[in-house]
Structure 1
Amino acid sequence: MASSLSVGGLGSGIDVSGIVGQLMEIERQPLSALDKKEASFQAEISAFGSLKSSLSTLQNAIAGLKVPVGGNALDFYSTYKGTLSDEGIASITAGDGTVPGNYSLEVTQLAKENRLISAAGASIGTGELTISLGSADGSTTTRSTTVSIGNGSLTSVRDAINGANAGVTAAVINGDAGPQLVLTANEGGSNQFISLSGVSGLDYSPATPTANFTEQQAPQSALIKLNGVTIESQSNKVTDALEGVTIDLKKATEADTPVTLTLTRDTSSINKALEKFVSAYNEYNTLVRDLGGYNASTEKAGTLLGDSALRGADAKMRSMLSSVPAELAGMDKKTLSDIGISIQKDGSLKLDSAKLDKALAADFAGVAKVAAGYGRSMDGIITGLIGSEGMITGKMTGLQDSITDIGKQRQTLERRLESTEARYKAQFTALDTLVSGMMQTSNYLEQQLASLANLNKK
């Protein structure tokens, strides 16, 4: 820190401030050197930060290849899709357990829910209403719920039923004839007929219908044939006809006109995971070349040109790509090249989609194991570089420690410079005072000598 003392010549003509300023410029050269060194360290920290971020992005991309501990590569990558030759008939969802193949599907009828409409203007009593779901003849009951209907108004009946989780939904519709209660079973199926008992005006049995309700829609199950096998479902969502497959029915097929259900393994998942990996690795590779290379056209060196940590980190990455993971040794497919990923001269990766598709078609399990093997290996390498104890993390910590040390050196140097500047100013101020005094003495002597000469002339 510069001193606030500023002294010019007191009469001698010596430029004390100018001389001290020039001397201090020389004295401050070590401080400038520290500033340059700190700027260099900061640039390296920024460069390693970019490298660490790029490796983190790559590790996130590898997550799509890394099979969980104890998992199976084939299961991890296996996703399926189902299609129909007529998508208007149903939609297909395929999941775990699906077996690829083609099936003939006929939809004889869709499932329907039982729906009842109360008579307009009916007088309703109060008390406990029992709501039952079962067969039409009443011989089988699948569900029975008793609710208190309160004051006997249609709205209180509606609210009581909807709040009872009875498997029936109630609504009040205000039509031309007045308010009417509409009851709809929550599920379709031949065992979902609604029966009511216990309250006058609301009694109803599908076996012996009364005037209290009109059946607006009779319940029925969905009926389908899969490869000629008849399947009955209580709803239009058929989940147990084929393992892992859900068939959401939309409409019936024409008589004796089945549609084709096709179940295939969906390779898009592993394709996208490998594409993401290659893209992220190439971004990393480009960054490494920029940080550690020299551009002859611009005559500009990368920030980390010659840095041993950068060279070491990149050597680990390249070595891993060209090596065979331990779990793949002895397998038919064991290298990235085997699944269509080749290493280019500049260190980047190139994915041959046609070769990958061919490999997937011939040996999906083999491709899955290669992807998982390299995913695991690269994840471990990256963790060893950017983890809390990683090489790059340690390098950045060391650089930051060096900057902290420079800060301490700067404080010590600035205190010494302040003392040096004060000493220079004191020395040159004393010199200025001495010279000024000598000049005054010289002037006095000149005056005295001149006076003696004048006396001699007289």
Structure 2
Amino acid sequence: MAGISTGIGLASGLDYTSLVGQLMQLEAKPQTLLKARLSETQVDAAAYRAVNTSLSALKSAADKLSDTATWTPVKATSSSDAVTVTTTTGAKPGSLTFTVDSLVATHSVVANGSYGAASDPAGFTRIDVTDSTGTVVGTVSVGGSGTLADAVSAITASPYGLSARTVDVGGELRLEVSSTAAGADGTFSLTAYTPSTIPLGSPTPGPAFAVVTQGTDAQLTVGTGPGKYAVSGTTNTFSDLLPGLTLTATRTGGPVTVDVASDPSAVAAAVQSLVTAANSALSTVRGYGYNGAGSTAALRGDSTLRQLVGDVLGAVASAVGTDDSPAVAGLQLNSKGEVVFAADVFTAALAADPASVRALVDGSTVGGSTVPGVAQRLAAVTAEATDATTGTLTVLALNKDRQASDLQERIDEWDLRLELRQQTLTRQFNAMETALGTLNSQASWLSAQLGQLPSWSSSN
């Protein structure tokens, strides 16, 4: 709204600003009601989306129990802390015994002789590089001023997979060269030549290089009997010695035994996640739809929410086809309408009859017909409510959004209407003040004129 420009009337002494403000409050009552309705509608939309989010989490937990990998989990253990183990999808039970013969090492050499500073002459102008097969693969020429620093730069920049640096040994510098590739294939040897006789014929050998670290592959010897065999690699990590198993060696030694075994506790944890998600969803739905005395819940008494609570509880409590009750797998309801899970009952039942327990939770196919289990029933209930296009909660939230948009348009229209009304009232009061001012001026003039008339006496 535009600001009120009347102020205090000089002629009337009235506070027109206050009068116009009070009148505008009365005029704005319909808009105030619309704003209240808009706020309520927006709260309702947010509430439907909050319920949708909680049911989506339940659907995710239910869908996980339809994944075969959830029902075939394994756990890997190592008999030695020198070897760490992990499993990936597809890992199967098994056992492996081996010895860690060597860890991967990167080949490095150091030049005989030392230097006082990196600016000292390198003592050679070229280096021949021989690879792990004994083949001379190329030559590195030392450019620049022929200093130690120039040699380091030239070796590192060469295309032979080398990295050079200077190391401080007791106050003197040594030239160290390492392979950029780990393992046995990265081994090399260097032959340096001094500059003095190269132009005249056979070059004179420069400083020799001694091995600091011999480049080696990581190697395991699998087994202990006559059929034992070795496996090697350029990292300390080995994959698929057993299906889905990855192991990493951190030191040599052995024998080390790695076992991959079924892990029923992981299945129980997945079911527990389903139960936790179900109770969280029930709590959210009930909270937003609570219709008790004095309730201020955003969606109090909402029939859709009541139906959802019943559907979730029914999905857990009802028998699965002609099979036993879900209680056989440790799933049931308590007196508070919550889902409870007895992990020990589930684990024992899973060990005794894995197929039946999975059928109760994940469903089965009987005579060509699908019999949904608890998880599948919950997935169906939540999918119907949360589908991004047709879900009941999705549609309800979108309807509230449309209502809010319509209300906002009406509120905006009232803004314009009220602004015009305020301008009209302001003009009217200003006109009235002007008229009063004119009347006051005329009265003052008339009074002055009357004061100038002669006085008449009734005496002689």
- TM tier, smaller: 0.5 to 0.7
Deviation at 1:447, TM superposition (A): 7.7
Over the matched positions of the two proteins, sequence identity in percent amounts to 20
More off after superposition, 444-453 vs 44-53 = 444-453
CA distance in 1, matches of 2:349, 2:416: 71
Look up the equivalent residue of 2:336 and give its one-letter code: D
Matched, 1:279 2:269: no
> Which sections of structure 1, spanning at least 5 residues, go unmatched?
68-72, 114-120, 132-145, 190-220, 254-258
CA distance in 2, matches of 1:17, 1:315: 59
Give SS of 2:332's match: strand
Partner of 1:267: 264
Look up the equivalent residue of 1:11 and give its one-letter code: A
CA distance in 2, matches of 1:24, 1:301: 31
With over 3 angstroms needed to count, the CA separation of the structure-2 counterparts of 1:244 and 1:57, relative to structure 1, is closer
Deviation at 1:273, TM superposition (A): 1.2
Look up the equivalent residue of 1:403 and give its one-letter code: A
The TM-score, its normalising length taken from structure 1, stands at: 0.62
With over 3 angstroms needed to count, the CA separation of the structure-2 counterparts of 1:247 and 1:416, relative to structure 1, is closer
Partner of 2:205: none
Give SS of 2:231's match: coil
Give SS of 1:48's match: helix
Deviation at 1:99, TM superposition (A): 5.6
Deviation at 1:393, TM superposition (A): 2.1
CA distance in 1, matches of 2:420, 2:245: 85
1:391-410 superposed matches below 5 A: 391-410=392-411
With over 3 angstroms needed to count, the CA separation of the structure-2 counterparts of 1:245 and 1:418, relative to structure 1, is closer
Deviation at 1:291, TM superposition (A): 1.7
With over 3 angstroms needed to count, the CA separation of the structure-2 counterparts of 1:455 and 1:15, relative to structure 1, is farther
Partner of 2:65: 65
Give SS of 2:40's match: helix
Look up the equivalent residue of 1:278 and give its one-letter code: V
Partner of 2:187: 170
Cα shift readout 1:116-145 (whole Å, capped 9, x = no counterpart) = xxxxx9xxxx999996xxxxxxxxxxxxxx
With over 3 angstroms needed to count, the CA separation of the structure-2 counterparts of 1:149 and 1:358, relative to structure 1, is same
Deviation at 1:30, TM superposition (A): 1.0
Deviation at 1:275, TM superposition (A): 1.8
Look up the equivalent residue of 2:187 and give its one-letter code: A
Deviation at 1:268, TM superposition (A): 2.3
Partner of 1:78: 72
> Which sections of structure 2, spanning at least 5 residues, go unmatched?
104-111, 113-127, 141-154, 163-178, 192-207, 363-372
CA distance in 1, matches of 2:230, 2:54: 53
CA distance in 2, matches of 1:93, 1:8: 83
Q: Is contact 1:111–1:235 with CA below 8 Å preserved after alignment? A: no
Partner of 2:144: none
With over 3 angstroms needed to count, the CA separation of the structure-2 counterparts of 1:424 and 1:149, relative to structure 1, is closer
Partner of 1:361: 351
Q: Is contact 1:169–1:183 with CA below 8 Å preserved after alignment? A: no
Partner of 1:37: 37
Look up the equivalent residue of 1:330 and give its one-letter code: T
Q: Is contact 2:131–2:187 with CA below 8 Å preserved after alignment? A: no
More off after superposition, 165-174 vs 435-444 = 165-174
1:136-155 superposed matches below 5 A: 147-150=135-138
Deviation at 1:245, TM superposition (A): 7.6
More off after superposition, 163-172 vs 386-395 = 163-172
Aligned length: 378
Cα shift readout 1:399-450 (whole Å, capped 9, x = no counterpart) = 2222221221122212222222233334444445555656666774898599
With over 3 angstroms needed to count, the CA separation of the structure-2 counterparts of 1:22 and 1:127, relative to structure 1, is closer
Cα shift readout 1:202-234 (whole Å, capped 9, x = no counterpart) = xxxxxxxxxxxxxxxxxxx65435xxxx64223
Q: Is contact 2:84–2:247 with CA below 8 Å preserved after alignment? A: yes
With over 3 angstroms needed to count, the CA separation of the structure-2 counterparts of 1:391 and 1:450, relative to structure 1, is farther
Deviation at 1:151, TM superposition (A): 6.7
Matched, 1:349 2:366: no
Deviation at 1:163, TM superposition (A): 9.9
Q: Is contact 2:287–2:297 with CA below 8 Å preserved after alignment? A: yes
Partner of 1:138: none
Matched, 1:291 2:288: yes
Partner of 2:328: 338
CA distance in 1, matches of 2:412, 2:240: 77
Q: Is contact 1:28–1:417 with CA below 8 Å preserved after alignment? A: yes
Deviation at 1:295, TM superposition (A): 7.1
Give SS of 1:301's match: coil
Look up the equivalent residue of 2:403 and give its one-letter code: S
Look up the equivalent residue of 2:281 and give its one-letter code: Y
Partner of 1:56: 56
Q: Is contact 1:110–1:223 with CA below 8 Å preserved after alignment? A: no
Deviation at 1:266, TM superposition (A): 0.8
More off after superposition, 179-188 vs 369-378 = 179-188
Cα shift readout 1:265-312 (whole Å, capped 9, x = no counterpart) = 21122122122222222222222222222576xx45212212344334
Deviation at 1:187, TM superposition (A): 7.6
Look up the equivalent residue of 2:229 and give its one-letter code: S
Partner of 1:202: none
With over 3 angstroms needed to count, the CA separation of the structure-2 counterparts of 1:159 and 1:42, relative to structure 1, is closer
Give SS of 2:66's match: coil
